[in-house]
Amino acid sequence: MAVTEVELATPLNAAVKAYNSIGQALRTCEQIPWSKLSLVHKVGLLLMVRLAQDVRCILLCVHRGYPVQASSMAACAFEAAYALAYVGGDESKAQAWADHTDERRSFRDVKTMVAGALKGLGLPQAECAELSDIQLGLYRRLCMAKHSNPVFQARHGYELVNDRPVFTTVPVVSEQTKATSIAALQGAVVAAFLALGSYINWHTRKAEQSSLMCLFRELVERSVSITHEARAMWPSGDPLSRER
């Protein structure tokens, strides 16, 4: 997989940075007794840990040549990040998260969490609506992998050689797997900077915020770099688009 790692250097390095940044944020409260933390802070920490694990799994899957599984995990990372941002610093939402007992449904649907998280940023309504469409579009595309959507799945798992199908249950390097890997890594980075921004805002002390904000801004910049590279490779800028 060395060739793939060279070709994916920008998104891979960004995702590694995302994983390390989450870890640095978590370490800010390691010396605080659990009993002294507010419920909303505990919920934020639990979701940050889940996100860090998801990002780590995305990296492992991409490194080992399983981009479809990495994209599926990126959708899960997105859910954790927006749950964290939706709860924010609201104790009542944290209590609702802690009290959730319905095994058939998530704590909140993603559309509600995205809208609530963006509203918490204090942005104008029109800008929130535009950002919501962009974020939900990213999530929807990642969920194609998560749910084996035919639009997505029909392009994976085989290649034609002289019109004969060769099924690939082991890692392969192709333009399709490269595109899917980039989408997964981009999803990981976006989820990380969303969660990190919310965590810094609600759960860190002023003395810690400067260094963490540097990490946040770097993740945003790296996400933009991934997008620019994707646009250079595919006119739509979307690695998972059928029109790319």
State pLDDT tens for residues 180-212. 999 999 999 999 999 999 999 999 998 899 999
In a domain, 240, yes or no: no
Average pLDDT for residues 8-34, to the nearest whole number?
Answer: 95
Q: Hey, what are 86's tokens?
A: 């939706």
State pLDDT tens for residues 73-82. 999 999 999 9
In a domain, 116, yes or no: yes
Label residue 123 by pLDDT band (50, 70, 90): low
The number of distinct structural domains making up the chain is 1
State pLDDT tens for residues 141-180. 999 999 999 998 988 888 888 999 888 787 877 888 888 9
**DSSP string covering 208-234:** HHHHHHHHHHHHHHHHHHHHHHHHHHS
In a domain, 242, yes or no: no
In a domain, 239, yes or no: no
Dihedral-angle region of residue 65 (phi above 0 means left; psi in -120 to 50 means alpha; beta otherwise): left
In a domain, 241, yes or no: no
Q: Which domain holds residue 89?
A: 2-233
Burial classification of residue 216, based on how many CB atoms lie within 10 Å of its CB (0-12 exposed, 13-18 middle, 19 or more buried): buried
In a domain, 97, yes or no: yes
Average pLDDT for residues 115-136, to the nearest whole number?
Answer: 81
Q: What is the mean pLDDT of the chain?
A: 89
pLDDT value for 13: 95
Segments of the chain assigned E as strands: 158-161, 164-167
**DSSP string covering 161-180:** ETTEEEE--S----HHHHHH
- Check whether 40 has a pLDDT greater than 90: yes
Q: Hey, what are 235's tokens?
A: 């006119």
In a domain, 244, yes or no: no
In a domain, 238, yes or no: no
- Check whether 237 has a pLDDT greater than 80: no
